[in-house]
Structures are given as structure tokens and as C-alpha cells.
């Protein structure tokens, strides 16, 4: 029974889909104006976990994640340039080239981190007509007014404005002003009003479209309303994004979507907290970032990064340090070594010790119960580690049967259908090069002949030249690959 913390109600709620057996999820995608960083990737790894859990629970999931390639201004206050337009000027490229360049990197990062691709990845620039139609609808209903630089949404006309924040409109304005997120602006009726359609300046040529209000480009918030409703319907199940979006972006999405349709927009708002560095948000605009490739080039694996990114509770900040990443790498290596060890168990015998297996299934149950409780990963991972340590103990005392080991591998792979740490590759990968296989055999022969010096030197060679760690077990050596640099 999956429970999610819903920002809208500020409560842990039992998840119930709108249509039985089906779930619609929308994720605010990247703004493709600069290198995506591992803070952004925290969002997508955590959302991937949620999606895998829903799939594991038998739902058919439709996942939509947009790409913002126009419309996201430098400031939430509806001032400043479009982030992509500014970067294009700086790099002396077209906005399209900038977006393609950074989107490509993002897609590679998603692959590296084993994130299941969304079913639809709509680009804002390819949905202008949908946005114009939505703004027209809002205009027909009287929510839109004209200011000097664009068409604006009058937030004072939307009764529940700010509902996602738990504040009323006045408190929200106050809080936004104090945080300097938005402020008074010439021509705006209310502080929280926001731009739906921005008029083009004379020198702006690219990503400019005609509209009933003149040439220009859409506001960032209207993009997500138009694209989510186009692909998931006017009322859908889960909307994801960073907690920075609660007060402005998501609040505005709710206002304009519900004002247009007269219906509830989204049932569950699933917002994940920041990845921080030295206690401050990792941020593209502050350029305080590490990318996936920074991490890989230091010798850590993408799966260690994934394990690190999903190791916290998603409502809490997670602080990035290389020491923490190193711990995640060591834990991952330990998990991989465990799977290889289990795959290498050859002891015959079909016996299953019921007491032992019951303990293992209790831990497996605890894993699933913890993830179902609003993705409580610290608790879930500790249940998984207890499967590993209990099994290792039994193995070390020489009691683990092949049948038990096979069963435990099945449990671990089931767990991994949610964690996504590519454990099955560890099980299946027996692709040792011939020379490495020969070395392992040579070392085994040396060990049996009690030539420990030779055995140790071959073992070092395997580690240093092939990155292979050998472990001696009763039924012969097992091996796993060590991450580079460790
Ligand atoms: P952007 O590309 O800036 O539109 O951001 C893409 C996603 O990353 C959004 O859901 C943001 O809320 C989220 N995000 C940005 N910075 C961080 C961070 N340091 N930690 C976690 N999520 C972040
Ligand atoms: Zn969005």
C-alpha cells in the first residue's frame, strides 16, 4: 500500500489512482541552457524510483517529462532575459543549438544513471499552439490582462491561489517578497501575477511566434500546464519537481490549469528536496555544480552515484561530498560482490533452512514496506543490507545451500527492479577475458600448491591490471570488478 507525502494536503496519503491500474505522472524537466548537474539528477533518480515502484506494484505508468527550451526567464519575478536566449548570446550559438547540446548531455546522464526514459518528452518550442489555446481559454474566462511586456494572469481572481504552499495569497506574497523571489513590477496588478505570453523585443528573432496578442514567446509556467494536460488529461495523478517550484512554478501551474478547466488539476504533488554542497543548493545559475561526468572522471561509477542520490529521504536535503560518494561506492562494490558470491555458490543440496529463509523474507518485506512508506530509502536500504549480512554469516559458517543462494538472488533482483542498480548484470556477467580467466586458474593452482607468494602476486596483477577483486571461498574463488580509482 503505497503512501506518499502530498505537498497539497501536507499529509502522508494512501495513493489511489484516478483510473484503476493506471498512473499518469508529469515531471518538470530540465531547462536546457547549461550542464545538467547531479542536483537535477537527484530529482530524476528519485522520480525514477517512484515510477519503478508503481510499475512493480502492477500499474501501467504513463510518464511525461518536458524539456524547457524557451520561456524560462532568469528571474521568477518575470524580469530579465530568457535563460536560453542569454546563453545563446554568450555562446554565440542559436537557442536551438544550445538546447540540443545540453539535452544530449542530459539524455546520456539519464542513461548512465539507469533512469527509465519517460514515455513522452515534449519540448516547449514544439507546443506553442497548445499554450496559445490555453491562454485564449483563460482570456475568455477573464483571467488575463495586458501589461507593457506581455499578457499576465491575474492571481487575485483565482480563489485558491497559493493552495500548494499552505498559505493564503497575502501570506504567500509576503513570503515571496521576503525571499526576494518576486516583487512589485510596473504594470502588474498583484505581486504574484505572472506572465503567460511575453512580447518580443525588436532584436529577438529566434523562438518568436505570432499570437493573438502579438509576436512573442510563452511564459515558463504555461508550458508545463499545456504539455502535461495535453498528454495526461486535464486531471492526472502525480506531478513531480523540486521543492523550489512549490511557491511559484507549481502554484502558477495549478492556478492557470484549474482556472481554465474548472477541474482539479493534480491529485498528488511529489516534490523532492535539494542536493546541497556545503549546505547550499547546488545550482546552475550559481555555477556551484558537479556533473555526472565530473563524478565518472574521478573514477566513481554511475551506479554508486545513483545509490548515493537515492540514499536520503526525499523530503530532506542531501549534502554532497566526495567522502559520502566514496561510501556509496564501497557499499555498491559490497552489494555487487555479494551477488557474484551468491552466483558462484556451487554447494550441492536442495535444502532450505526455513528459519533462515523466513528471516530473509522478513527483511525483504521490510524493504518493500519502507519504500511504500513515501520512499523511505534509509530504512529500505538497511533492510537490504541485513539480507546481505545474514546471508554472509550463513555462508561463512559453511551452511548456505545453492538453493538458498538462488532464492536470495531472486529476492535481490526483485529489490533491484526498484533500486535500479543493475544487479542483474553482476549475476549474468561472466564475460571475463580469456587472459583474466587463465590468471585466475593459474593463481588457484599456485594456491593449492601452497605457493602463496605467486598466488598473491597474481591476485595483485588481477586487481591492478584488470580491476578484478578475488575472494576465496570454499568452493573456489569468486570475483567482482572494482570501480576505477579505489
Ligand atoms: P531546471 O533545469 O533548473 O529547470 O531544473 C530541473 C529540476 O531540477 C527541477 O525539478 C528543479 O527543481 C531541480 N533542481 C534544481 N537544482 C536542484 C538541486 N540542487 N537539488 C535537487 N533538485 C534540483
Ligand atoms: Zn514545470
What average pLDDT values come out for the chain (486 residues) when binned by 10 residues?
Answer: 97 98 97 94 98 98 96 79 88 93 97 98 97 98 96 95 91 84 83 94 87 95 97 98 96 98 97 94 84 96 97 96 96 93 75 94 98 98 98 92 93 97 78 76 89 91 83 71 54
Q: List all residues whose CB is within 6 A of at least one atom of ligand 1.
A: 28, 30-31, 39-40, 42-43, 241-242, 244-245, 274-275, 281-284
Q: Tell me how far the alpha carbon of residue 223 lies from the centroid of ligand 2, in angstroms.
A: 7
Residue closest by Cα to atom 21 of ligand 1: 274
Q: Which of 333, 320, 329, 293 is nearest to 423 (CA)?
A: 333
Residue closest by Cα to atom 8 of ligand 1: 40
Question: Please, where are the H alpha helices in 179-219?
Answer: none
Q: Tell me how far the alpha carbon of residue 245 lies from the centroid of ligand 1, in angstroms.
A: 9
Predicted local distance difference test score (pLDDT) of residue 344: 77
Exposed, middle or buried, 429 (CB in 10 Å: 0-12/13-18/19+)? middle
Question: Please, where are the H alpha helices in 57-160?
Answer: 83-91, 95-112, 128-140
Predicted local distance difference test score (pLDDT) of residue 286: 76
Beta carbons of 307 and 332 less than 8 angstroms apart: yes
Beta carbons of 145 and 235 less than 8 angstroms apart: no
Helix, coil or strand: residue 335: helix
Beta carbons of 8 and 268 less than 8 angstroms apart: yes
Ligand 1 atom with the smallest distance to the CA of 33 is 2
314-430 adopts what CATH topology? Isoleucyl-tRNA Synthetase; Domain 1 (1.10.730)
Closest ligand to the CA of 68 = 1
Q: Tell me how far the alpha carbon of residue 68 lies from the centroid of ligand 2, in angstroms.
A: 8
For the chain, the helix, strand and coil percentages under 3-state DSSP, each to the nearest 5 = 50, 15, 35
Residues 6+ apart with CB under 8 A from 425: none
> The C-alpha cell of 24 is what?
499518469
First to last CA, the chain: 40
Q: Tell me how far the alpha carbon of residue 327 lies from the centroid of ligand 1, in angstroms.
A: 24
Q: Which of 333, 320, 415 is nearest to 377 (CA)?
A: 415
Residues 6+ apart with CB under 8 A from 1: 14, 372
Q: Tell me how far the alpha carbon of residue 114 lies from the centroid of ligand 2, in angstroms.
A: 23
Torsion angle, alpha carbons of 328, 282, 225, 134, to 10:
-160
Ligand 1, pocket-test mutation among 37, 74, 242, most atoms within 8 A of CB? 242
CA 22 to chain centre: 21
Residues 6+ apart with CB under 8 A from 28: 65, 66, 224, 240, 241, 242, 245, 249, 250
Residue closest by Cα to atom 12 of ligand 1: 242
Ligand 1 atom with the smallest distance to the CA of 40 is 8
Which phi and psi (to 5°) does residue 184 adopt? -70, 145
Beta carbons of 325 and 308 less than 8 angstroms apart: yes
Predicted local distance difference test score (pLDDT) of residue 73: 83
Residue closest by Cα to atom 14 of ligand 1: 40
Helix, coil or strand: residue 190: coil
Predicted local distance difference test score (pLDDT) of residue 431: 53
Beta carbons of 22 and 62 less than 8 angstroms apart: yes
Which phi and psi (to 5°) does residue 58 adopt? 95, 5
Ligand 1 atom with the smallest distance to the CA of 68 is 4
CA 406 to chain centre: 31
What top-level class would CATH report for the domain 3-143+155-169+219-272?
alpha beta
Q: Tell me how far the alpha carbon of residue 220 lies from the centroid of ligand 2, in angstroms.
A: 7
All structural domains of the chain with their residue ranges: 3-143+155-169+219-272, 314-430, 432-486
> The C-alpha cell of 147 is what?
501589461
Q: Tell me how far the alpha carbon of residue 61 lies from the centroid of ligand 1, in angstroms.
A: 23
Amino acid at each position: 500500500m503505497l503512501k506518499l507525502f502530498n505537498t497539497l494536503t501536507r499529509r502522508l496519503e494512501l495513493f489511489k489512482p484516478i483510473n484503476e491500474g493506471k498512473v499518469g505522472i508529469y515531471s518538470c524537466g530540465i531547462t536546457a541552457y547549461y550542464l545538467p548537474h547531479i542536483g537535477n539528477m537527484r530529482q530524476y533518480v528519485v522520480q525514477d524510483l517512484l515510477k519503478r515502484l508503481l510499475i512493480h506494484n502492477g500499474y501501467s505508468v504513463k510518464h511525461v517529462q518536458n524539456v524547457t527550451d524557451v520561456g524560462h526567464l532568469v528571474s521568477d519575478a518575470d524580469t530579465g532575459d530568457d535563460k536560453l536566449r542569454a546563453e545563446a548570446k554568450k555562446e554565440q550559438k542559436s537557442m536551438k543549438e544550445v538546447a540540443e547540446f545540453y539535452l544530449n548531455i542530459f539524455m546520456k546522464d539519464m542513461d548512465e544513471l539507469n533512469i527509465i526514459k519517460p514515455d513522452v518528452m515534449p519540448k516547449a518550442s514544439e507546443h506553442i499552439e497548445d499554450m496559445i489555446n490555453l491562454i485564449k481559454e483563460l482570456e475568455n474566462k477573464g483571467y488575463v490582462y495586458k501589461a507593457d511586456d506581455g499578457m499576465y494572469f491575474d492571481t487575485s481572481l483565482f480563489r485558491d491561489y497559493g493552495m500548494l504552499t499552505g498559505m493564503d495569497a497575502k501570506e504567500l506574497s509576503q513570503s515571496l517578497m521576503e525571499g526576494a523571489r518576486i516583487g512589485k513590477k510596473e504594470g502588474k496588478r498583484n505581486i504574484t501575477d505572472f506572465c503567460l505570453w511575453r512580447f518580443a523585443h525588436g532584436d529577438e528573432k529566434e523562438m518568436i511566434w505570432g499570437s493573438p496578442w502579438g509576436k512573442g514567446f510563452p511564459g515558463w509556467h504555461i508550458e508545463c500546464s499545456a504539455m502535461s494536460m495535453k498528454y495526461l488529461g486535464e486531471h492526472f495523478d502525480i506531478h513531480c519537481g523540486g521543492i523550489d517550484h512549490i511557491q511559484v512554478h507549481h502554484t502558477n501551474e495549478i492556478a492557470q490549469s484549474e482556472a481554465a478547466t474548472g477541474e482539479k488539476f493534480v491529485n498528488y504533488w511529489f516534490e523532492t528536496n535539494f542536493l546541497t554542497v556545503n549546505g547550499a543548493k547546488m545550482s546552475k545559475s550559481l555555477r556551484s555544480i558537479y556533473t555526472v561526468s565530473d563524478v565518472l572522471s574521478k573514477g566513481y561509477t554511475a551506479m554508486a552515484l545513483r545509490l548515493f542520490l537515492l540514499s536520503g529521504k526525499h523530503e530532506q536535503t542531501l549534502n554532497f561530498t566526495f567522502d559520502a560518494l566514496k561510501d556509496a561506492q564501497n557499499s555498491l562494490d559490497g552489494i555487487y560482490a555479494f551477488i557474484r558470491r551468491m552466483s558462484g555458490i556451487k554447494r550441492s543440496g536442495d535444502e532450505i533452512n526455513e528459519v533462515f529463509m523466513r528471516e530473509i523474507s522478513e527483511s525483504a518485506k521490510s524493504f518493500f514496506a519502507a519504500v511504500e512508506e513515501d520512499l523511505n530509502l534509509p530504512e529500505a536500504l538497511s533492510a537490504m543490507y541485513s539480507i546481505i549480512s545474514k546471508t554472509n554469516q550463513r555462508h561463512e559458517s559453511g551452511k548456505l545451500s545453492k538453493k538458498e543462494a538462488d532464492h536470495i538472488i531472486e529476492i535481490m533482483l526483485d529489490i533491484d527492479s526498484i533500486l535500479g542498480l543493475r544487479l542483474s548484470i553482476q549475476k549474468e556477467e561472466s564475460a571475463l577475458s580469456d587472459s583474466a580467466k587463465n590468471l585466475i586458474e593459474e593463481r588457484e593452482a599456485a594456491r593449492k600448491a601452497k605457493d602463496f607468494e605467486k598466488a598473491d602476486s597474481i591476485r595483485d596483477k588481477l586487481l591492478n591490471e584488470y580491476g578484478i577483486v578475488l575472494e576465496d571461498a570454499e568452493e573456489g574463488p569468486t570475483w567482482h570488478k572494482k570501480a576505477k580509482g579505489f
